Structure 1
Amino acid sequence: MFLNKMKYYPAAVLFALLTSCGDKNQQQQPTQPPAVPVTLTAVKSAQAAYYEEYPGTVVALNEIELRPQVSGFITGIHFKDGARVRKGQLLYSIDAQLYNANYDQAVANLNVQEANLARAQKDADRYHELEKNDAVAKQLVDNADAALEVAKRQAEAAKANIKGVQTSVRYTKVVAPFDGVIGISAVKVGAAITAGQTVLNTVSTDNQLAVDFNVDQKEIYRFSTLMKKAKSSDSTFTLKFGTDIYPEAGKIALLDRAVDPQTGTIKARLVFPNKENRLRAGMSGTVRVLNNAAGNSIVIPYKAVTEQLGEFFVYVAGDSSKVSQRRVVLGNAIGSDIIVKEGLKEGEKIAVEGVQNLREGVTVAEGK
């Protein structure tokens, strides 16, 4: 009986070992994850015409701050705020009493100096006549000539002083420097003003307004070419405020003298007609530059793109129904699509739906 037990025990142990090994093999066998449902689309090329956008600022083509050139008090304001003014139109009057008095004094001084000059001239002539007959000493003749020269210089100084005082009198009238629109007056009647410091108002032109924006220095050649080819009726340059498009097309007027070394950009200026006075200096908008030079470009739905740490990727389906993540370089957006500059070829299939569930090497199944 003892022998029978000894034979039975190894058989039971063997059975247990075989059973545990079978369970372990079943546990270690990996299970295949189900395929992720996605929507795939073939990469295609298309004619890509799009607008490049730049932030821009509306500025006046001609604008000047009015500052007085003499000090005093404002005695008259001869316009309505915001009115259109013409070149030479009287805008402000400054108290001219002091300057008129100075002018009268300068005229009186000139009269005195001219009288002195006439007397010195007569003395010099008389001494020269006496000198011809050796009836006067040479020293007296020289003194008379010197006095005459001094009188001439004093008369000239008096005339120059009159010109200066006349200028001050003229500056008591502030006039419009050119045709344009004047703003809201910064001073009232009776206000004290200081020459060269007090800002009275601002006058600017408004029949045409400029829009300044910055472009990368790499674009200088392209914008120089556009500047040569642009026509007033061309729609290459348009202006947008929010979702509203300004109805008039612009024309590129100039590129700035030099590139800003800190930003690597150069300022460009467009000119827009402003017949209906919709534009105001200081407005901020978006400059739209039509770019139709891209030709056939790879264009894909923007929703197929994922972003990681500032880089962009798409999931490309392979022959084994597995997707691989591929880095792409993006261009400009065209509606709901976007141009791909690098990373994809025509005919490749990419995932456009279910992208959020994908990762490298996942098997996908195209949904119906």
Structure 2
Amino acid sequence: MKITSIFNPSNLLLAAVVFTAAACTGGNSAPRQQRAAATVTTVKVEAKEVTGLDSYPATVVPVKEVELRPQLSGYITKIFVEDGETVKKGQKLYEIDRTKYVAAYQQAKANVATAEANLARVEQDYKRYQSLQEQDAIASQQVDYAKADLKTAKAQVDAAKAQLSSASNDLNYSTVKAPFDGSIGIHKVRIGAQVSPGQPLLNTISSYDPMAVDFVINEKEIPRFNRLKKEDHSSDSLFSLAFGDNSDYPYPGRVIAIDRAVGRQTGTLTIRLGFPNPEKDLIPGMTVDVNVLNQDHGNQIAIPYKAVVEQMGEFFVYVDQNGQAHQQRVHLGSVVGKDIVIREGLKGGETLIVDGIQKLREGTPVEAAK
């Protein structure tokens, strides 16, 4: 019997490849190696006492403020107070040369006396003419003249008294007095300065206790501040102040006014708070921060702010669930120091990943650092 041998080089090459692959794999498919666990730092989520505040830039303004200007012409002859002095209502501040105003007042008084004396004489004449007319001993025309003279004399008295009142006012205006209790600023004039009605500015006086603080809010916040104004707050007020050096003002404030309308261009509304100011720490024009207590106060879930991740306008944290990172969406509240209040998303008791979150994804194996 004849045997025919068939040799195909391609079959030999295929066998070699299969043998090589089997050698590399040991003949079977091995399981893929698991990812190495990321080392992270964790803390337990728990509630803590916090004070959540909303901060607004604000300006200190006096409750009452008036520019002091002269109402007469003349020269400043006296200045009764020092720069920056605290004054009382009615206290003398400046004096304008009173010489001609005293003279005008005295002349007006004399004119009143003369007019009243003339009126008394005319009244006596009129009464006498009336008596004679009753006896038919005088012409009626003479009585009519006497009656007209009486009206004229009365008008002269009224005119003289009006002139006296004007002269009295001028004399009073020659001494500029404090319209209310307050603090006066630095003098804008000195003795000898010439003044005229309205010019120049002599000084400015403002009240200092209480003091007002103005700030603006977005129109969306108006309902909240309307509620705050209506509520009767205790001494532990919802409103406090912080100075530029981060020190706190010791006295609480209260809402005393809300502006009448929202600005058409800005969409904001001005709120005015009142604060006691016995030590004069609040000065008109200074800039402060108004802190308003919000809903994030008391026992709240608060976590380190650095544990929060923002993605597409939403906020997330990572928690350790059985050795794996789980991404949890949260709703943020107020920042309190280095912490932030979580209003929704965490209930307490979770193991929060604080450090190492940059390398995490959903399901990444994690291992707490030791």
Coarse TM-score class (shorter-chain normalised): 0.7 to 0.9
TM-score (norm 1): 0.77
User: SS at the partner of 1:135?
Assistant: coil
The structural deviation recorded for 1:172 is 0.2
The within-5 A match list for 1:221-236 is: 221=227, 224-225=230-231, 227=233, 229-230=234-235
Contact persistence 1:237–1:250 (CA under 8 A): no
CA contact (8 A) 2:303 2:341 kept: yes
Counting matched residue pairs gives 352
Letter in 2 for 1:36: A
1:11 aligned partner = 11
1:302 counterpart residue number? 305
Deviation at 1:353, TM superposition (A): 0.3
> Counterparts of 2:20 and 2:156 in 1: how far apart (Å)?
130
Whether the 8 Å CA contact 1:58–1:282 is kept in 2: the answer is yes
- 8 Å contact 1:48–1:292 — kept in the other structure? no
Q: Compute the displacement of 1:92 (Å).
A: 0.6
Q: 1:86 to 1:222 in 2, by over 3 A?
A: closer
Partner of 2:43: helix, strand, or coil?
strand
Decide whether aligned partners of structure 1 residues 178 and 16 sit closer, same or farther in structure 2, where only a CA change above 3 A counts. same
Question: Alignment partner for residue 241 of structure 1, among 240, 243, 250?
Answer: 243
The answer to whether the 8 Å contact 2:52/2:297 transfers is no
In structure 2, stretches of 5+ residues that fail to align are 26-30
**Structure 1 unmatched ranges of 5 or more:** none
Distance 2:261 2:247 in 1: 30
Query: One-letter code of the match for 1:316?
Result: V
CA distance in 1 between counterparts of 2:88 and 2:16 reads 111
DSSP 3-state at the match of 2:302: strand
C-alpha deviation, 1:17, in angstroms: 8.0
- 1:152 corresponding residue in structure 2: 154
User: CA offsets, 1:139-192, max 9 Å, x none?
Assistant: 332232122112111211211210111111111011223444321011223333
Conserved? CA contact 2:326–2:363, under 8 Å: yes
Provide the residue aligned with 1:281 in structure 2: 284
Partner of residue 224 from structure 2, selected from 214, 218, 222: 218
| Counterpart contact for 1:52–1:288, Cα < 8 Å | yes
Alignment of 1:47-58 (within 5 A): 47-50=49-52, 53-58=55-60
Question: What is the CA distance between 1:290 and its match in structure 2?
Answer: 6.2
Tell me the residue number matched to 2:354: 352
Structure-2 separation of matches of 1:259 and 1:12: 97
Whole-angstrom CA distance in 1 between matches of 2:269 and 2:311: 27
Aligned to 2:316: 313
Q: Could you tell me which residue of structure 2 aligns to residue 250 of structure 1?
A: 251
- Shifted more, 64-73 versus 108-117: the winner is 108-117
Q: Is the 8 A contact 1:312 1:329 kept in 2?
A: yes
Q: What CA distance in whole angstroms lies between the structure 2 residues aligned with 1:321 and 1:122?
A: 117
Q: How do 1:123-272 residues align onto structure 2 when only pairs under 5 Å count?
A: 123-196=125-198, 198-206=200-208, 209-212=211-214, 216=221, 217-221=223-227, 224-225=230-231, 227=233, 229-230=234-235, 238-243=240-245, 245-246=247-248, 249-257=250-258, 261=262, 262-263=267-268, 266-272=271-277
1:76-117 per-position Cα deviation (integer Å, ceiling 9, x unaligned): 222221223344332111123443343344345434533543
**Which piece of structure 1 moves more, 153-162 or 355-364?**
355-364
1:328, CA displacement in angstroms? Answer: 1.9
Q: Which whole-Å CA distance do the structure 2 matches of 1:203 and 1:264 have between them?
A: 27
Contact 2:74 2:196 in 1 (8 A): yes
TM-score, normalised to structure 2, is 0.77
- Deviation digits for residues 297-349 of structure 1 (CA, Å, limit 9, x no counterpart): 2121111012346543222344571432x332222233322210112222333
For the structure 1 residues 113 and 343, does the alpha-carbon distance in structure 2 shift closer, same or farther, using more than 3 Å as the test? same
Quickly say closer, same or farther: Cα 1:122–1:221, change in 2 above 3 A.
Answer: closer
